[in-house]
Amino acid sequence: MSRGLRHLALKTRDLAATERFYTDVLGLRRAFPHDGMLFLETRGGQDLLNFVETRARFDPGAGGFDHFGLRFSRAEWRKVRARVKEARVRIRGRRGTSAIYIEDPNGYTVELYCD
């Protein structure tokens, strides 16, 4: 059995907006239903993003968290970039020609890249 990082749990104040962003714009899929939480599968892997609904205010930049990265094939990356542009999501930074940095509805920085 493989052991290692299986999921990353992040806070959200709006599960519906978070789900729309990650499924409609970035192309992730809902893994399974869970009350008060959202589990999303990344493409081509066994990784999960877990968003936990909270009513409390939070600072996504607290605790030293910088960003997380989602890796795509070159063809899928082009499609995701097009959806980001169509959704008018602001690109906050770039790394060469194979990575962009955006902000999700919760204020987390997400790196979208391809190898």
CATH number at residue 32: 3.10.180.10
pLDDT digits (tens, 9 = 90+) for 56-91: 877 877 776 778 989 888 999 999 999 999 999 999
Average pLDDT, the chain: 88
| pLDDT attached to residue 1 | 45
Flag whether 13 is in a domain. yes
CA distance 38 to 53: 8
**pLDDT at residue 37 is higher than 70:** yes
Summarize the confidence of residues 26-52 as an average pLDDT: 89
What's this model's pTM, rounded to 2 decimal places? 0.78
CA distance 39 to 81: 22
Flag whether 62 is in a domain. no
Please count the structural domains in the chain: 1
